[in-house]
Amino acid sequence: MARFLKNREQVKGRSPGSLIFVGTQKVDKVNIRLIDYDDHHLIDQELLDINDAAPYKTTEAVTWININGLHDEQSIGDAGRVFDLHPLVTEDILNTGQRPKIDDYDSYIFIVLKMIRFDRQTQMIVNEQLSIVLADTFVLTFQEQPGDVFEPVRERIRRHKSRIRVSGTDYLAFTLMDTVVENYISVIEHLGEKIEDLEEDILSGHDTAVMEKIHLFKREINYLRKSIRPAKEAVFQMAKLESSLIHDKTLPFLKDLEDLITHATEAIDTYRDLLTDQLNIYNSVVANKMNDIMKVLTIFAAIFIPLTFIAGIYGTNFEYLPELRYKYSYFIFWGVLIAIAGASLYYFKKKRWF
């Protein structure tokens, strides 16, 4: 399956809002985790069925329900029914190739982002779709598999006197988005270190795999760009939403998130340009090496042309040659050749041709 686009063959011709999973199954079983909290209490538990979360829809506390595993269309459909989600929202949740975006449905806000990580074994970027539903009393998150970057957020929730415990669902959604974007920065920095290290290999000219590495990193940077640039649009759009779900005290944090994701996109553009420059430098180094080789070959050719000319005349089968029977003619011949070769080298050196 292509990395940049998901195979949508199975959804062709289906009506909008159809529950069809688009992507690769990454877990065997759907996992549902509920965290319900306010300043005074905290509930953190696993749920066997999404219907068990229905009583938490109307509580005054903040409820965060995280669902790992999108392959089970029935479970996602049940979540949509329990929390009154639009069919187009559940369709987008199941489509793991969805572009990062934000949609305002009045009673809730739907956000799609990409969580990314760097696979050290394959040296490739791996992404996972994250869908967030922000409502007045609850936040739903849908992931393809466990092992997210949200454990620090859970730790903050467990601390009794943390800001997140006294804030609403909008601050929780901001915190989740902020964690995802901070992870963008970490991955970009890790990839950037590898890109910057290429410069030494390029200039030394000893690593024959440099070209392959440059093209690999260019592909990964473009893959990052595909995920992060639309996320920037979503973050900026969220900060401008005139929604009662986003309180005024959360807006400064969203402005700070704008700065963070702008930093991420600028870093991607910087490394993208750097890779282009490195490719040009590599081609210049290769061209200069070839020029040096051709220069040496040309110098040798220039030296041997007159020597060949003299040797050709000396070796002609004329019957009468003045020096033919002279006993020192052989040594004179070599002396002439060496003198011409030395004079040629001296002339080339004086002209700084090598």
Q: For strand 138-143 and strand 62-68, is the pairing parallel, antiparallel, or unpaired?
A: parallel
pLDDT at 162: 84
Distances (CA, A) of 295 to 96, 202, 300: 56, 22, 9
Structural domains of the chain in order of their starting residue, each with its CATH number: 9-284 (3.30.460.20), 298-350 (1.20.58.340)
User: What are the residues facing 54 on neighbouring strands?
Assistant: none
Residues 6 or more apart from 210 whose CB is under 8 A from it?
198, 201, 202, 282
If you average pLDDT over residues 302-317, what whole number do you get?
Answer: 73
Q: What residue type is assigned to position 60 of the chain? A: E
- Which of the two residues, 222 and 283, has the higher pLDDT score? 222
| Integer CA distances (angstroms), 113 to 167, 181, 244, 323, 331, in order | 23, 9, 22, 91, 84
Residue 3's pLDDT is 61
Structure confidence by residue, pLDDT tens digits, 1-13: 456 666 556 655 5
pLDDT of residue 253: 94
Tell me the whole-structure pTM to 2 decimals. 0.79
pLDDT recorded at residue 208: 66
**Are 62 and 138 in contact, with CB atoms under 8 Å apart?**
yes
CA torsion 69-70-73-78 (nearest 10°) is 70
CA-to-CA distance for 191 and 268, rounded, in angstroms?
Answer: 10
Burial class (CB in 10 A: 0-12, 13-18, 19+), 221: buried
CB atoms within 10 A of CB 304: 15
Q: How far is CA 118 from CA 106, 148, 206, 251, in A?
A: 36, 13, 27, 31
Contact 66, 33 (CB under 8 A): yes
DSSP E strand boundaries for 31-80: 31-37, 42-47, 62-68
Has residue 218 got a pLDDT over 60?
yes
Q: What are 61-100's pLDDT values in tens digits?
A: 999 999 998 888 889 999 999 999 999 999 999 988 888 9
Mean pLDDT for all residues in the chain: 85
Confidence of residue 316 (pLDDT cuts 50, 70, 90): low
Asked whether residue 187 carries a pLDDT value surpassing 80, the answer given is yes
| Residue 111 near residue 134, CB atoms below 8 Å | yes
User: Average pLDDT in the 199-215 region?
Assistant: 77
Using pLDDT thresholds of 50, 70 and 90, give the confidence band for residue 258. Answer: very high
Give the sheet arrangement for strand 62-68, strand by strand.
42-47, 31-37, 62-68, 138-143, 124-135, 108-119, 101-104
Q: What is the DSSP letter of 14?
A: P
pLDDT given at position 320 = 56
Residue 139 phi/psi, 5-degree rounding, is -130, 130
Q: Look at residue 271 and give its three-state secondary structure.
A: helix
